[in-house]
Amino acid sequence: MTASETRPLTATRSFPADFLWGSATAAYQIEGAAREDGRTPSIWDTFSHTPGKVFEGHTGDVAVDHYHRFRDDVRLMADLGLNAYRFSVSWSRVQPTGRGPAVQKGLDFYRQLVDELLAAGIEPALTLYHWDLPQELEDAGGWPERATAERFGDYAALVADALGDRVKRWTTLNEPWCSAFLGYGSGVHAPGRTNPVSALRAAHHLNLGHGLAVQALRSALPEGSQLSVSLNLHEIRPLTPSAEDVEAARRIDAVGNRVWLGPMLEGAYPEDLLADTAHLTDWSFVRDGDTATAHQPLDLLAINYYAPTVVSRVAQGDEKPQDDGHGNSEHSPWPGADDVAFHRAPGERTAMGWPVDASALYDLLKRTADRYPGLPLVISENGAAYEDEVGPDGTVHDPERAAYVHAHLDAVHRAIADGVDVRGYFLWSLLDNFEWAYGYAKRFGAVHVDYDTLERTPKSSALWYAGVARSGELRAPGDA
């Protein structure tokens, strides 16, 4: 049973008056202008230009040209009734080598974007890092090296100095699990490395970099600023109630969730994670004081959710399904979990092949709130890709996406009604865009983009979501 089926679809749900209704994007996916105004390559520029890494050789060189069209895009947000917008800063646009002084033209772009948002009554929510490490830092070793965490702290201070007077909401990292384990473990994301020890080292230095960034932000930002990190926490379900499958779920929880929650929110790595990975590393790259640095007070915990994860334990030599939703690779992004299989959940699936199950979002919110009482939550990403088509009249009708978002907002509302402090929801994504290794083949946008003309057309789901955002009331898509 999904969350949307637990109460009548026709019932109206009222959200708190100060609830944030937003949408989200990432710099490399939308900005383009890859070689303008001092910007240098990031690891995603290099990866996308490497043959065979991205669908049909697509790159973010132009993307959807948000760099030149941001004013039009802000007007779109205003027309859609959004009161918040989550965006990321391109590190290599503002600090091309990952070291030293900023490029003012790069910072000016974000200053202008923020000013445009504020003038439209839209609250900016800034993410410092959404996977686009400057290539020069990767050439020096990347996230597996401690120096990258130190440079990230410096970068955070630089951006805070430029934008801290007008941006209240700050997020350090977006989905560090993907950065570490897809980037350095399975290799399906930039920089495309496939070493489990490097992935674990990267995870630690992302934790450390987060802590250093929070310290830098606290020093530079005015009182009242809100700091968070955005984690793609996995809602993990054992395939059966057997002890073996429950053990498989524990292993994935350790390397998927608690590898971040432990250091960031509790000040230590979980002992079972260290034991699970002891055959790979002794974790000697963790220095005294590192987990204390990672463990900085946060004002919010941001959660990205798309689908549940279903696992079982398999014996050596048995067939091992690997439908974890994270791309295809001979190399696992789950170090210490070689005996865990990933299964297709039953029911409807999106164009990404991901199952549609809003009940798992409710469970995730409730479980997280129970574990960390007093820490407000926000949904920093949730959405779905579908095979959208422009109709003869020029409109894009996407009822599947509207139904998906409705079900998940209903799950959020149910969590709030059950005492979970959820402060906002950011729909992924504002625009169709460069979908990482899938290139332009998958469309997550509320707004359709013609990739030849770059014309923007709000889809029917966007118009429905606009009504929800303006009223603060969730109605079934057919009632909008």
CA distance 133 to 44: 8
CA distance 60 to 323: 27
What the block records as the tokens of 207 is 């934790």
User: Which residue is associated with the tokens 């009822």?
Assistant: 399
Instruction: Compute CA distances 447 → 398, 432, 469, whole Å.
Output: 11, 6, 15
- 15 DSSP 8-state letter: P
Burial class (CB in 10 A: 0-12, 13-18, 19+), 409: buried
Quick one: which of 48, 67, 206, 196 has its CA closest to 142?
206
Query: Is the torsion defined by CA of 222, 224, 230, 236 positive or negative?
Result: positive
Active site residues: 175, 381
Residue 105's SS3 state is helix
CA distance 277 to 396: 48
Q: Which helix (H) or strand (E) holds 109?
A: helix 104-119
Quick one: which of 180, 314, 163, 318 has its CA closest to 225?
163
Quick one: which of 126, 139, 127, 136 has its CA closest to 98?
136
Q: What is the Cα 426 distance to its own chain's centre?
A: 10
CA distance 249 to 151: 35
Region for residue 32 given its phi and psi (left: phi exceeds 0; alpha: psi -120 to 50; beta: otherwise): left
